[in-house]
């Protein structure tokens, strides 16, 4: 792992992300690592770590109470437009922005964001659509093989994944150029 990242525990990774204004934390100052997050909250985190621009004035989804004027929409629209999240039903256009994000959904976002290779062999209890994503995340050491993929993700699990994506975005890009 680059930069000795493994030296940081989850709280320290959270502190880095909080300093970068990606997580806000709770009014009492706690990280709430045992708590869960909604899909909209995670979309907001993703916008921060991927450096996306929130998209104003648009509401692509038909979820009840999903409106361009409400806070989740610009973040949901940004991750949708970037191809990081597509929602739960692309025919009915349901995002489920108030639903809790699960471990397998988190794994999919991680794999898409990091462009991880999806293995052909899987050995996990995820839903069919998620088996490859979860296996890729397990193989990359970013999801515990013992975690229940269908369970809601904890903020601790989300911090680990968010930090990994955040770091990969901070690394200098390799620029190739031709010398004539
Ligand atoms: C439309 C579809 O097949 N959605 C899948 C899956 O791709 C979705 O992944 C994420 C991370 C998302 O992109 O929003 O969470 C919800 C998942 O829903 C799945 O269908 C139930």
56-111 per-position pLDDT tens digit: 999 999 999 999 999 999 999 999 999 999 999 999 999 999 999 999 999 999 99
Ligand 1 atom 5: residue of nearest CA: 88
Please give the average per-residue pLDDT across 43-60, as a whole number: 98
Please give the average per-residue pLDDT across 124-145, as a whole number: 97
Closest CA relative to residue 92, chosen from 62, 67, 68: 62
Ligand 1 atom 6: residue of nearest CA: 88
pLDDT of residue 6: 64
88 alpha carbon to ligand 1 midpoint, in Å?
4
Average pLDDT in the chain? 94
Contact residues for 90 (Cβ-Cβ < 8 A; gap 6+) = none
d(CA 164, CA 47): 14
At 4, the pLDDT band (50, 70, 90 cuts) reads: very low
> Ligand 1 site: residues with CB under 6 angstroms?
85-90, 105, 108-109, 129
34 alpha carbon to ligand 1 midpoint, in Å?
24
Query: What are 154's strand-pairing partners?
Result: 36
At 5, the pLDDT band (50, 70, 90 cuts) reads: low
10 alpha carbon to ligand 1 midpoint, in Å?
26
42 alpha carbon to ligand 1 midpoint, in Å?
14
29 alpha carbon to ligand 1 midpoint, in Å?
32
Contact residues for 30 (Cβ-Cβ < 8 A; gap 6+) = none
At 177, the pLDDT band (50, 70, 90 cuts) reads: confident
Please give the average per-residue pLDDT across 109-130, as a whole number: 97
Q: Is the pTM above the cut of 0.90?
A: yes
CA-based radius of gyration for the chain: 17
Q: Which atom of ligand 1 is nearest to the CA of 95?
A: 14
d(CA 113, CA 105): 12
d(CA 66, CA 10): 32
Structure tokens at 54: 């929130």
For 14-33, the pLDDT digits (tens) are 999 999 999 998 999 999 99
Query: What sign does the CA torsion over 116, 85, 156, 102 have?
Result: negative
Q: Which atom of ligand 1 is nearest to the CA of 105?
A: 11
Indicate whether 173 pLDDT > 90. no
Inter-axis angle of helices 103-114 and 39-50, nearest 10? 20
């Amino acid at each position: 792992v680059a930069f000795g990242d493994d030296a940081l525990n989850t709280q320290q990774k959270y502190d880095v992300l909080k300093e970068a204004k990606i997580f806000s934390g709770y009014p009492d100052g706690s990280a709430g690592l045992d708590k869960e997050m909604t899909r909209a909250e995670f979309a907001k985190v993703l916008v921060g770590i991927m450096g996306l621009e929130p998209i104003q004035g648009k509401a692509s989804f038909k979820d009840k109470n999903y409106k361009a004027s409400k806070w989740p929409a610009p973040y949901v629209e940004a991750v949708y437009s970037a191809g990081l999240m597509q929602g739960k039903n692309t025919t009915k256009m349901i995002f489920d922005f108030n639903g809790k994000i699960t471990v397998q959904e988190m794994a999919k976002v991680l794999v898409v964001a990091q462009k991880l290779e999806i293995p052909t062999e899987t050995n996990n209890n995820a839903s069919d659509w998620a088996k490859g994503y979860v296996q890729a995340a397990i193989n990359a050491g970013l999801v515990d093989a013992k975690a229940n993929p269908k369970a809601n993700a904890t903020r601790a699990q989300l911090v680990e994944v968010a930090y990994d994506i955040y770091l990969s975005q901070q690394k200098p890009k390799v620029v190739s150029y031709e010398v004539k």
